[in-house]
A and B are shown apart, each in its own frame.
Chain A
């Protein structure tokens, strides 16, 4: 009887000990993924800000400029791309909508971002775009990979349509969470006009050709990233845009189109921290708690099996 019990315990010990690495290195990359149908909104504000009045073409100090960023998972498109990509893919249709203090639209830029559901690596597929123009992203955007490392990452900038390193600058504590702080500075770069702008009677797509006035942009981008989930829990940008030269400015060299320190609205920070804290527990369960727990439990069962086996041999001897 004791011998049978020790064999059952041995089988269970091997079962749990084997589950430990299988869970961490086989199941984790296959099961922990961004859901393809995720919908997420984020509100950011610059208070105060400098904003160009397109009626007078003069920069004015305004109380607030709001940026509403929506990410919407397109399940049908992700299933279509998965058939040729051979891996789990997420397609995010995104919109950055900028609103002035009077509630009027300042600009809006749609994007389609296609990426690997687990590793966050970009997937290149038809439809990948920024403001209706095809792009080929390098690096990450919006989110870091699960189990983010203390290193620089390539980060895609939608305004310049290029990728550049975003630098790891140290570990911080944010609302009780350990986070990695990343920073990227995009130097003054000539960029396209958004296709939707509040200029009555002027086609933004041909504005530069018609007037010779160019749009320039620089930003310092900061992210506080929870490393287990790879989710930013806070983000800020010190953002400046200028119009330079041409006939539009009435002889002036340049005029500020937008300047402000953009921060996530506090209620969205609270919501994000709450969401990330719960998701963090689930990821830790797969990567740490269950693997180590199963390994320890397997070890204990093995010890018990050996004790029972030794006793049964002593009795029979």
Chain B
């Protein structure tokens, strides 16, 4: 019975962690202020 409870605790903790991290997700960020290019950029460093 104790082993079953310990296993359940582990499972619930894993579920809670993954669901929380997935729900938070990534911040959307912002649209770049840089323009769509109409000139040829120089060499990339």
Contacts and interface: CB of A to CB of B under 8 A. Distances in A.
Interface of A: 7-8, 10-16, 18-19, 22-23, 26-27, 30-31, 33, 35-37, 39, 41, 43, 66, 68, 70, 72-76, 78-79, 93-95, 97, 99, 103, 105, 108, 110, 267-268, 270-271
Contacts of B17: 19
A60 to B, nearest CB: 20
A238 to B, nearest CB: 21
Given A10-B10, A31-B26, A66 B40 contact: yes
A31 B21 CA distance: 9
B29 A15 contact: no
Nearest to A14: B10
Residue among A15, A68, A74, A270 with the highest chain B CB neighbour number at 10 A:
A15
B7 A11 contact: yes
Given A68-B41, A73-B32, A110-B36, A10 B6 contact: yes
B27 to A, nearest CB: 9
Interface of B: 2-3, 6-7, 9-11, 13-15, 17-19, 21-22, 25-26, 28-32, 34-41, 43-44
Contacts of A18: 10-11, 14-15
A31 B22 contact: yes
Given A7-B3, A12-B10, A15-B10, A36 B28 contact: yes
Nearest to B36: A95
B10 A74 contact: no
A312 B3 CA distance: 14
B22 A30 contact: yes
Contact of B22 (A11, A19, A27): A27
Contacts of B43: 267
Contacts of A7: 2-3, 6
A72 B31 contact: yes
A19 B2 contact: no
Given A68-B37, A75-B30, A10 B18 contact: no
Given A27-B22, A30-B25, A37-B29, A70 B37 contact: yes
A299 to B, nearest CB: 13
